[in-house]
Amino acid sequence: MKHKIVVVLVALAAGSGVLTAGENPNFVVGNGLIGYTATTVPPQVRCEGGEPTNAFPPCSAGTRRAFGRAEQQVWMPASLSEPVASLLNGPLTFVVNCNFDAAYRGPCWGTFRWEAAGGAWEGQWVSPVMDLMTYESRISMVGFGSGGALEGKQLKVDGFSNPGDWYITIAARIH
């Protein structure tokens, strides 16, 4: 009986801590959409079992695995909620590296720079799921701010796109 009471008390305490953390004035949270605008540096492509096509898809028929390195893409916020909108309002440049299977699905990772609010966020990102054919993705980003209103702040972004989505839906937390 004592064990059950302890479990209930711990659960209640943890639950109230989550509610308090969600209202923490030290954090700014918001959500929105980011959208692809351009590739400024094409990827260095290696095709296992095929040849690079310099088109889409990036490898010839029969390719078992495709590897892309050092691609640079520019994205822009399409819609962001307050209060994060003013802190994430500029261009977002990704350096992209990916390992794809024959269906062009696999993990990707790299760095990012997000210019906004008189400064920039810089950090790393990872996507355990990226699908070039359907646009499905999952992404997590962690970065640090420098300059302007971003100086000394930390950024955490989690996002996703479902198959067929043109935009990535994000949830951002700034501390």
Q: What are phi and psi of 100, to 5 degrees?
A: -110, 150
Residue 17: what pLDDT?
A: 40
Inside any domain, residue 118:
yes
Residue 26: what pLDDT?
A: 83
Alpha-carbon torsion (147, 148, 151, 153), positive or negative: negative
Inside any domain, residue 35:
yes
| CA–CA distance, 63 with 38 (Å, rounded to integer) | 26
Inside any domain, residue 8:
no
| CA–CA distance, 118 with 90 (Å, rounded to integer) | 10
Secondary structure (3-state) at 7? helix
Secondary structure (3-state) at 151? coil
Inside any domain, residue 114:
yes
- Number of folded domains that form the chain: 1
CATH number of the domain residue 129 falls in:
2.40.350
Instruction: Residue 83: give the domain boundaries.
Output: 26-174
Inside any domain, residue 6:
no
Residue 80: what pLDDT?
A: 96
Q: pLDDT truncated to tens, each residue of the chain (175 aa)? A: 444 443 333 343 444 343 334 556 689 999 999 999 999 999 999 999 999 998 999 999 999 999 999 999 999 999 999 999 999 999 999 999 999 999 999 999 999 999 999 999 999 999 999 999 999 999 999 999 999 999 999 999 999 999 999 999 999 999 9
Secondary structure (3-state) at 14? helix
Inside any domain, residue 12:
no
Inside any domain, residue 106:
yes
Residue spans of beta strands (DSSP E) within 14-166: 28-41, 44-48, 65-80, 92-101, 105-116, 119-131, 137-146, 154-161
